[in-house]
Amino acid sequence: MKQNDTINTTELNHLNILYVFALESEAGTFFKEDLKIFTGVGKVNAAYHLMKALQTNRPDIIINVGSAGSNNFKRGTVVCCNQFIQRDMDVQGLGFDLYQTPFSKVPAILQYGKILTGLPLGICGTGDNFDTSNSQKSYNVVDMEAYALALIAQEEEIPFLCLKYISDGGDETAAVDWQTSVVLAAEALKNAVTHF
């Protein structure tokens, strides 16, 4: 299965899927029967728990599902992200490009992700802060885990699909908006992987 090509829900039905969530609230009761892990918040937690899970199970595909902010996509939209930026990586002072990890062969924009037919595409900026700056430029979705998960999937040569429910605008009201919208994420995300 090639990366950055399309996949549909019929194809997903025949795969051994590992769902990766940051929080249990993002899964709700809609993923009860599915193989899943909850990593906790942030890139380090995400990387640790995914690698630990891969020691005992090698899935056909890793699907990261969860909430995210965006000032480009309408709240309540499910976006398929297939490009990832580590938005808090800034080593320009040493002559590296913004978002580029020093001495890494991975480009500043990691392009590794399946495209789920029927969903809008996004570029996810991952960072270890809850972004309320409303200043998304090189990316149009913000989260706190996806980059780390995509990088591990690429390194382990496991197909990766990232679906984000837009819960807030990544702006000054993001914290309040996220708390009220995250409970709606699970149903919308489950519908995306079963009905599109």
Cβ–Cβ under 8 Å, residues 134 and 122: no
Cβ–Cβ under 8 Å, residues 168 and 174: yes
Provide the residue type at 110 as one letter: L
Architecture field, domain 6-195 = 3-Layer(aba) Sandwich (3.40)
Cα separation, 65 vs 41, whole angstroms: 13
Distance of CA 72 to the CA centre of its chain: 16
pLDDT, averaged in runs of 10, over the chain (196 residues): 75 93 90 94 97 96 93 92 95 93 94 93 92 76 96 97 84 58 76 80
What lies within 8 Å, CB to CB, of 23 at 6+ separation is 38, 40, 41, 66, 182
pTM for the predicted model, two decimal places: 0.90
pLDDT at 4: 60
